[in-house]
């Protein structure tokens, strides 16, 4: 697994992931679609690992180039 998620991309993924998880935890139980918030685990995990399988399939790499 080669890192393909860069710095700004990691920050955005962490923010979005935490926001979605917070929604899942804090939303009232009457909201039937709060399970969608648990999707926030995916961007959070990819940010912490520095690797996104979808980026590999699409040929995207946001990491700075190493010299």
* Residue 59 CA neighbour count, 13 Å, CB half: 0
pLDDT at 33: 85
66 confidence band (pLDDT: 50, 70, 90): low
Q: What letter would DSSP give residue 66?
A: P
Which pair of tokens denotes residue 11?
């920050």
pLDDT tens per residue, range 1-55: 899 999 999 999 999 999 999 999 998 888 888 889 999 999 999 999 999 999 9
pLDDT at 58 > cutoff 60? yes
Question: Is residue 5 within 8 Å of 63, Cβ to Cβ?
Answer: yes
Q: Contact, 2 vs 60, CB < 8 A?
A: no
């Amino acid at each position: 697994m080669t890192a393909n998620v860069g710095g700004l991309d990691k920050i955005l993924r962490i923010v979005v992931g935490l926001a979605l998880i917070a929604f899942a935890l804090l939303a009232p139980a009457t909201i039937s679609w709060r399970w969608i918030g648990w999707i926030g685990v995916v961007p959070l995990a990819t940010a912490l690992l520095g690797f996104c399988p979808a980026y590999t399939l699409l040929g995207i790499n946001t990491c700075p180039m190493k010299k």
